[in-house]
Amino acid sequence: MKQQFDAIVVGAGPAGSSAALALARAGLQVALIERGEYAGAKNVSGAVLYAPGLLGDLLPNYWEEAPIERYLTRRIITFLGRESALSVDFRTNHYAQPPYNGLMLLRPKFDRWLAGKAEEAGAVLITSTVVDDLLYDGEQVVGVLCRRLQGELYAPVV
């Protein structure tokens, strides 16, 4: 049986889950594919989200329920030379107020929460699934080849 969706999103990190959430809210049937056992299990970045305003556009007041460890209240940039360093320390009380400027978070918790929001909107989260290749019809991408399920998922948008 051919599994057909309106859109397929590969990777349930913050970008993928946000895309799946927006697409599902628009009424599309979305497959959100994650290679880990759960969203966030295979994350490859640190624990700081520097552009939370973008998330606020998608989930207003997200900070009231998201698993956030703490808010960034200052930023320090250091330029290093061979024998010297110059640091710029920027602080503002606005960083500690909504909408927050930066967040410290544990990606496994945060990614799971955000993927859950996509699921609540109607996206189908498929975990423990590696995407090995894109499927083509001529020059057009029409789906993905997975190591699991029936192997192939189809959508006009991947």
Q: What is the CATH number of the domain that holds 23?
A: 3.50.50.60
69 and 36 in one domain? no
CB count in 10 Å sphere of residue 125 = 21
User: Average pLDDT, stretch 128-150?
Assistant: 93
**Sign of torsion over alpha carbons 136, 137, 141, 145:** negative
Enumerate residues 6+ apart whose C-beta is below 8 A from 30: 5, 6, 7, 8, 9, 20, 23, 24, 118, 122, 123, 124
19 and 59 in one domain? no
Mean pLDDT computed over every residue of the chain: 92
116 and 88 in one domain? no
157 and 131 in one domain? yes
Phi/psi of residue 36, nearest 5 degrees: -80, 170
| Domain boundaries, position 13 | 1-41+108-158
34 and 1 in one domain? yes
Strand partners, 140: 137
Could you say which of 105, 131, 150 is where a domain stops? 105
pLDDT tens sequence across 48-86: 887 777 888 899 989 899 999 998 888 899 999 999 999
